[in-house]
Structure 1
């Protein structure tokens, strides 16, 4: 065998400049490996990443209000202070209402222990009459105990108390991000002159995120008010807490309605029986069908540029990576990832087409 057959080609700077192609399989494997490492890193720092993303989304949402105040003669620092005080007041007020309501719930549930046992006994009797095996039914019924829920509620209350630290962190992030956002317009203009694709992608991301947040917040507020009034009429305890829950779960696509429905429906069952529970389910289904399923999608339209399948997968993925806050921020974070990975790279347009993502401006 001659030296000619043993000669191995080595990569040189000239090959790199010439765009020496790697095998497509290698590129795909490297991409999956990089994505795995990135996701693992995000899960490891979710305690930091989730509040940062929340603060970023809030700053994006209130940016037009700041510009409006500037146009009306407010100095930059005054506009920032006004917006921060408003956001601080909303977040702190929301946190206090949730904390007080959860504390009341912890003290309220022990009163329903006897009622819960009675309902379980009725359900066991109905299943036995329907021909379900008595031993299996009694085994399942024995595992149902309202007292087992109380330690979890105590942990939930401790968790809500621990959120105060995160709230302070988010408020601090909001302050610094709001101060830094003052010159964001000039920086975006400079970026657009140097890298037009990146500037256009970031502008589109901010517009889509802002429109999604405005529409979702507006309809979430309407849903929360209607749910609170209906729950108060039905006489479900802690109607204000469940109204706030329906407002928050409106940001969770696909399954948010169910998450907001289950707690008040169960409490209505324990407090008043089957009829109040059916009334709660009926009201929530009516409000969800009319507002969230018919009216809200009409105004949101295709502005976010995400298909229903991508939205659902994003919900599950970001809830797994970032925790509960990831479920609420699933759409904005997905829009940010799309901006960085797809919209900034014209060569990746085929991925958007493959995933049935809108490529038009909002």
Structure 2
């Protein structure tokens, strides 16, 4: 077949598949989340297996760890979202006062009323805070199906020992596929662990900074910073805009600038200087592919797709590229690194 026809058929098949996944995103999202969580705690099962622990212990311990983490996250997110929803309407008067001050300042500088009206329509702090509500709401929507996630976790934890044995025995017959899946699990686990550690550091520092500055709901914005840490490229901006907008409403421009300065300083130190040294080549995706994966998986799975964009891209890369020895050129393009 002509190569152009093969490319067109492949693109058409990918589009059909993505739209199909989007239609069943309520099932695919929890499934991928459960898979990623099981991969994250697989070292615990390996450690128990090396010490000859009974099979039920190898299954129960990782499962209980994941369930406790899920319950804690669901509780914190739910309480924080309720607090945010009750807090935002109370700042209507402050928002109107800010609009009046901005209008007076702009008129004094010679800005027309028509330009002011367009600027006011385009800027609404409550819409910016709505970004946090949308992101948290999407994750809470997944946690609302907690029963499905727990069942999937239990099934995957039960199958994990047998799956590991099957992959190890199949390495001679399908070495490329087994190596690709093992690389996917290793990179995903390393990415999750490092991102979680630095996300927690960022969240703690942000909570301390917001508490000192006096911004309401610092714990909520810390949780948002932890979640946004998994979103490539734009996670920092998403975590910054809602507390900055709330600081503007609560304490004025000076408090907003303090929030922006604190977040920027924390992000530059942890994300730009320290994190790359620990993360290294864990992702194996170019900056362009990372951004494209963020757009695609957010479109397919919603807010949860943004959080799981990197693991989903690593899984796709493992199944379609890394498992094919003839696709080394494609792997080089995706990772932006020449093949050895």
Fold conserved (TM > 0.5)? yes
- How many Å apart are 1:350 and its aligned residue? 1.4
Is this contact kept in 2: 1:319–1:325, CA < 8 A? yes
Whole-Å separation in 2 of the counterparts to 1:42 and 1:104? 33
Q: How does 1:182-201 map to 2 (within 5 A)?
A: 182-201=161-180
Alignment of 1:314 with 2:293, yes or no, is yes
Alignment of 1:70 with 2:49, yes or no, is yes
Alignment CA distance shift 1:233-1:255 (3 Å): same
Is this contact kept in 2: 1:191–1:198, CA < 8 A? no
Is this contact kept in 2: 1:124–1:141, CA < 8 A? no
Alignment CA distance shift 1:257-1:150 (3 Å): closer
Residues 202-225 of structure 1: per-residue CA shift (max 9 Å, x gap): 111111111111111111111111
Q: Equivalent residue of 2:90, what SS?
A: helix
- How many Å apart are 1:70 and its aligned residue? 2.6
Alignment CA distance shift 1:142-1:177 (3 Å): closer
The gaps in structure 2 that reach 5 residues or longer are: none
Whole-Å separation in 2 of the counterparts to 1:292 and 1:150? 23
- How many Å apart are 1:69 and its aligned residue? 2.1
- Counterpart among 311, 317, 326 of residue 338 in structure 1: 317
Query: Which residue of the partner structure matches residue 119 of structure 1?
Result: 98
- How many Å apart are 1:125 and its aligned residue? 1.8
Whole-Å separation in 1 of the counterparts to 2:191 and 2:139? 27
Q: How does 1:1-362 map to 2 (within 5 A)?
A: 22-138=1-117, 140-141=119-120, 162-358=141-337
Taking only aligned residues, the RMSD between alpha carbons, in angstroms, comes to 2.6
Is this contact kept in 1: 2:231–2:307, CA < 8 A? yes
The gaps in structure 1 that reach 5 residues or longer are: 1-21
Query: Which residue of the partner structure matches residue 13 of structure 1?
Result: none
Aligned length: 340
More RCO (CA 8 Å, sep 6+): 2
Residues 252-279 of structure 1: per-residue CA shift (max 9 Å, x gap): 0110000001111111111111222111
Q: Equivalent residue of 1:132, what SS?
A: coil
Alignment CA distance shift 1:231-1:312 (3 Å): same
When structure 1 is superposed on structure 2, of 141-150 and 87-96 the one drifting more is 141-150
Q: TM-score if structure 1 supplies the norm length? A: 0.86
Q: Which runs of 4+ in 1 moved over 6 A?
A: 142-161
- How many Å apart are 1:57 and its aligned residue? 0.6
Q: Equivalent residue of 1:304, what SS?
A: coil
Whole-Å separation in 2 of the counterparts to 1:339 and 1:209? 11
Alignment CA distance shift 1:64-1:227 (3 Å): same
Is this contact kept in 2: 1:265–1:281, CA < 8 A? yes
Is this contact kept in 1: 2:77–2:140, CA < 8 A? no
Whole-Å separation in 2 of the counterparts to 1:259 and 1:150? 10
- How many Å apart are 1:110 and its aligned residue? 2.5
Residues 123-162 of structure 1: per-residue CA shift (max 9 Å, x gap): 1222222322113314654787788999999999987775
Radius of gyration: which is bigger? Answer: 1
Is this contact kept in 2: 1:60–1:210, CA < 8 A? yes
Alignment CA distance shift 1:147-1:288 (3 Å): closer
Residues 33-84 of structure 1: per-residue CA shift (max 9 Å, x gap): 2112111211111111111111101111100111112333431212321222
